[in-house]
Homo-oligomer: A and B are copies of this chain.
Amino acid sequence: MEAAISTLVTQFKTFAGKDGSGSTLSRDEFHSLVTSQLPNYVKNASDPGEIDRLMGSLDQNNDGELTFTEFWALVGKLACKQAGFSH
């Protein structure tokens, strides 16, 4: 499990580090992460409007950036769906 957790952290940092703050995902960073890393888990991942709606639902403090904790909430929902558990 630890290797899988580390992969998720490393990938988050890779995309978060592209522009601005290295510890949050900007809109563009989130778009490239979802389209390249979560193409099967996020329905309509190729639709920018869908990704904006997704980001809006996660960005709890509405600062246009996703913290790791906000991002982790998305991954949890996707994992729950993938596992067939009620969320």
Contacts and interface: CB of A to CB of B under 8 A. Distances in A.
Interface of A: 1-9, 11-13, 23, 33, 37-41, 67-69, 72-73, 75-76, 78-80, 82-83, 85, 87
Number of chain copies forming the complex = 2
A41 B11 CA distance: 18
Residue with the greatest number of chain B CB neighbours at <10 A, chosen from A1, A75, A87:
A1
B5 A8 contact: yes
Contacts of A76: 69, 72-73, 76
Contacts of A7: 1, 3-4
A78 B5 contact: yes
Contacts of A82: 5-6, 9
